[in-house]
Chains A and B, each alone.
Chain A
Amino acid sequence: MTLLRVEDLRVRLPTSSGPVTIVDGVDYQVEQGQVFGVAGESGSGKTISVLALMQLLPQGAQVDGRALYDGRDLLSLGPRALQQMRGRDIAMVFQDPLTSLHPMLSIGKQLTEHVRVHEDASRDVAKRRAIELLEEVRIPDPEQAFHSFPHQFSGGMRQRVAIAIALACRPKVLIADEPTTALDVTVQAGILRLLDRLRRENGLAVILITHDLGVMSSIADHVSIFYAGRIVESGPTRELLTKPRHPYTRALIDALPHPEAEEGSELVAIGGSPPTPRARPDGCAFHPRCAYARESCELSVPSLVPVSDSRLLACPIDPLGPR
């Protein structure tokens, strides 16, 4: 069942020299119980595109397109409906657990305040729920944790708390923006297992944003690759990562260190750097860095078209072809 359908999402942010297009026409849909991966380099518009869904962008941002959830367009919700949607239908976990929790409010307060607002729950009910959640995300001694403050926990534990806070009102969709990037690898694995379990047990849909394809391959069902504010390729994770068709996806995978790679083989860095939103090249934004680029690539922006049952590709050249 499709929970969330995003159609032609465009975001322009104000800067000192006029508005700049950050997200430039993005379409995708998220199914119930699915982990929907969004990958791409920093600055490709991944985070901005999901903040737009929650209307959490700074003032002055221009958002166009539609994001249909439960028959309503999230992008045109009024303040009241928006406040009721946030946290209850769609919840969010941010990248840095050190800064995303309030340093002066107790864990208990931060875990219960929105439950009490959304569900009009009593203090006791909210507290019982909070303790359950802390158990669910495997925080040792939940009763004590309830009365503690964020600075008394390690980064991994704080991210678990942040996830517990996000799940407190039993949302249908969880947006996790680089939830493991600030954490150690071992802690990372724990958080990913936790997300995976919640998805299986509660039918939660997860939009997982990461620039780490390793994380992606371990948990995501479906991946969309972002480049310069657009999706350049999308498809089921395993297929997409083993048989990439867009030159950018290929380059991303080649840039990963691989334990089974032949000895002496070098990592291939992608030449050049990603374009800044202010100076995006004409045509396909990747063409200046693309090994397969032709003249035609500079002329028109390639659209994202189906190339098989489950895969979409925005490269008319398709140099890597179906193999």
Chain B
Amino acid sequence: MLLGVGITFVAFCLTNIVPGDPAAANLGQRAIEDPAAVAAFRHHYGLDKPLPEQYGIYLWHIVHGDLGQSEQNHDAVTHDLGQFIPATAELALLSIFVAVVVGVGLGVIAAVRRNKLTDHVLRVVSLGGVSMPTFWIALVGLYVFFFRLNWLPGTGRLDPVVSPPPHLTGLFTVDALAAGQWSTFWNAFQHLVLPSLVLAASNIGLLTRYTRSAVLEVISNDYVRSARAKGMPGHTVILRHVLRAALPTVITVIGLAFANVMTGAVLVENIFSWPGIGQYAYRSATTLDLPAIMGVSLFVAVVYITVNFIVDVLYGVIDPRIRLA
């Protein structure tokens, strides 16, 4: 709660420090030259009031579930968010899922095959994933898989001829499944593959590296030797004894991966014309749409806080020593 107020305060200050005039950004060339129009614009959005008062009004509105009105399209910011969040959520969740499964898996394999060829190859791959810029991977991915091979669709959430499934969660794949529209599901899924993989690339690298080192740290522990000494099969030792003990580190990195996905989404959504929060954030920032920027900041902050909270809870679930403390 306190964190929430702090975040709105920082976001509010930052957006207002930015040099630039919302009126200039949003009114047409002619209107700007008309002082009356500018004054009317400022008055309409409350920009003529002192900043502390603006902040107070803003907080008051948030408490009532009102994030203000976008200066661009004059829709309520909450309406915009509600429209764009599901698209990003679908992309981000699939991307995180892929990153966790692939990254943790590769990390474990690299650790078990330490200093062998597999480990060296995985080191190069994960380093590549971390160091190649997301926008570059996105463009190469589009060029190869869409333009050259035409294996995957290029942009958007669905082919133009396919109509969205009936709204339930806003996640097209889930909604299509719920409605039993298999072809729509398949189409939506195909559109998801490339952007979510691109978004997962750096997180796969990150998770592989961290999982590998966490597993190596655990694998030489006495209790792992104990497990072998009692005759547990090798894969059970790795999954139950080693990975379990490495999990707190892995969970922490998964938390970080969420942060990466939120920032990565801005680039990926723009490149893939994905109608999500990232694209909305980019558009709002370039047009200095203050209420929208604030809304996005607030949303991202809520995601961070929630993820961190879940990570903290999971620590306790994984490690009984934390549970009691």
Tally of contact residues, B, Cβ under 8 A = 22
Main SS of the interface on chain B?
helix
How far does the alpha carbon of A165 sit from the alpha carbon of B231 in the complex, in Å?
11
How far does the alpha carbon of A105 sit from the alpha carbon of B226 in the complex, in Å?
13
Q: Which residue of chain B has its CB nearest to the CB of A88?
A: B231
The answer to whether A114 and B222 have CB atoms under 8 Å apart is no
The answer to whether B321 and A84 have CB atoms under 8 Å apart is no
Give every chain A residue within 8 A of B231 (Cβ-Cβ).
83-88, 114, 117-118, 169
The answer to whether B230 and A87 have CB atoms under 8 Å apart is yes
Q: Is B49 an interface residue (CB 8 A)?
A: no
The answer to whether A104 and B230 have CB atoms under 8 Å apart is no
A-B contacts, CB under 8 A, total: 83
Give every chain A residue within 8 A of B221 (Cβ-Cβ).
99
Q: How far is the CB of A158 from chain B (nearest CB, A)?
A: 11
Docked complex: A139-170 residues within 8 A CB-CB of B? 149, 151, 162, 165-166, 168-169
Q: Is B124 an interface residue (CB 8 A)?
A: no
Q: How far is the CB of A129 from chain B (nearest CB, A)?
A: 14
The answer to whether B232 and A54 have CB atoms under 8 Å apart is no
The answer to whether B233 and A56 have CB atoms under 8 Å apart is no
The answer to whether A149 and B226 have CB atoms under 8 Å apart is no
How far does the alpha carbon of A101 sit from the alpha carbon of B225 in the complex, in Å?
10
Give every chain A residue within 8 A of B25 (Cβ-Cβ).
none
How far does the alpha carbon of A79 sit from the alpha carbon of B319 in the complex, in Å?
31
Q: A104-B245, A105-B241 are in contact. Are A99 and B234 (CB under 8 A)?
A: no
The answer to whether B222 and A104 have CB atoms under 8 Å apart is no
Q: How far is the CB of B324 from chain A (nearest CB, A)?
A: 8
The answer to whether A117 and B236 have CB atoms under 8 Å apart is yes
Q: Is B283 an interface residue (CB 8 A)?
A: no
Q: Is B229 an interface residue (CB 8 A)?
A: yes
Q: Which residue of chain B has its CB nearest to the CB of A89?
A: B231
Give every chain B residue within 8 A of A306 (Cβ-Cβ).
none
How far does the alpha carbon of A98 sit from the alpha carbon of B222 in the complex, in Å?
9
Q: Is A102 an interface residue (CB 8 A)?
A: yes
How far does the alpha carbon of A104 sit from the alpha carbon of B229 in the complex, in Å?
18
Q: How far is the CB of B240 from chain A (nearest CB, A)?
A: 7
Tally of contact residues, A, Cβ under 8 A = 32
Q: Is B98 an interface residue (CB 8 A)?
A: no
The answer to whether B229 and A87 have CB atoms under 8 Å apart is yes
Q: A103-B245, A105-B241, A151-B320 are in contact. Are A94 and B225 (CB under 8 A)?
A: yes
Give every chain B residue within 8 A of A94 (Cβ-Cβ).
222, 225-226, 229
Q: Residue B244 contacts which of A88, A92, A104, A117 (CB distance < 8 angstroms)?
A: A104
Q: A102-B245, A103-B223, A149-B321 are in contact. Are A83 and B234 (CB under 8 A)?
A: yes
Give every chain B residue within 8 A of A118 (Cβ-Cβ).
231
The answer to whether A99 and B229 have CB atoms under 8 Å apart is no
Q: Is A113 an interface residue (CB 8 A)?
A: yes
Q: Is A196 an interface residue (CB 8 A)?
A: no
The answer to whether B245 and A100 have CB atoms under 8 Å apart is no
Q: Which residue of chain A has its CB nearest to the CB of B229?
A: A92
How far does the alpha carbon of A106 sit from the alpha carbon of B323 in the complex, in Å?
13
Q: Which residue of chain A has its CB nearest to the CB of B241?
A: A102
Give every chain B residue within 8 A of A169 (Cβ-Cβ).
230-231
Q: Which residue of chain A has its CB nearest to the CB of B237?
A: A83
Q: Is A96 an interface residue (CB 8 A)?
A: yes
The answer to whether B233 and A117 have CB atoms under 8 Å apart is yes
How far does the alpha carbon of A3 sit from the alpha carbon of B231 in the complex, in Å?
19
Give every chain B residue within 8 A of A168 (Cβ-Cβ).
230
Q: Is A11 an interface residue (CB 8 A)?
A: no
The answer to whether B234 and A54 have CB atoms under 8 Å apart is no
Q: Is A206 an interface residue (CB 8 A)?
A: no
The residue among B223, B230, B241 with the most chain A CB atoms within 10 A of its own CB is: B230
Q: Is B227 an interface residue (CB 8 A)?
A: yes
Q: How far is the CB of B44 from chain A (nearest CB, A)?
A: 58
How far does the alpha carbon of A304 sit from the alpha carbon of B55 in the complex, in Å?
90
The answer to whether B234 and A79 have CB atoms under 8 Å apart is yes
Docked complex: B165-213 residues within 8 A CB-CB of A? none
Give every chain A residue within 8 A of B227 (Cβ-Cβ).
102
Q: How far is the CB of B169 from chain A (nearest CB, A)?
A: 35
Q: Is B307 an interface residue (CB 8 A)?
A: no
Contact with A along B265-283 (1 / 0, CB 8 A): 0000000000000000000
Contact with A along B10-37 (1 / 0, CB 8 A): 0000000000000000000000000000
Q: How far is the CB of A67 from chain B (nearest CB, A)?
A: 15
How far does the alpha carbon of A162 sit from the alpha carbon of B223 in the complex, in Å?
11
The chain B residues found within 8 Å of chain A, CB to CB, are: 221-223, 225-234, 236, 240-241, 244-245, 318-321
Extra contacts besides A83-B232, A113-B232, A166-B230 (7): CB < 8 Å: A100-B226, A101-B226, A104-B245, A104-B319, A113-B236, A149-B320, A149-B321
Q: Could you jot down 17 A-B contacts, CB within 8 Å?
A: A56-B225, A56-B229, A79-B234, A83-B233, A86-B229, A91-B229, A96-B222, A99-B221, A102-B223, A104-B244, A104-B318, A113-B232, A113-B236, A114-B231, A117-B236, A166-B230, A169-B231
Give the 7 A-B residue pairs with the shortest CB-CB distance, closest first: A87-B231, A86-B231, A87-B230, A99-B222, A114-B230, A92-B229, A102-B223
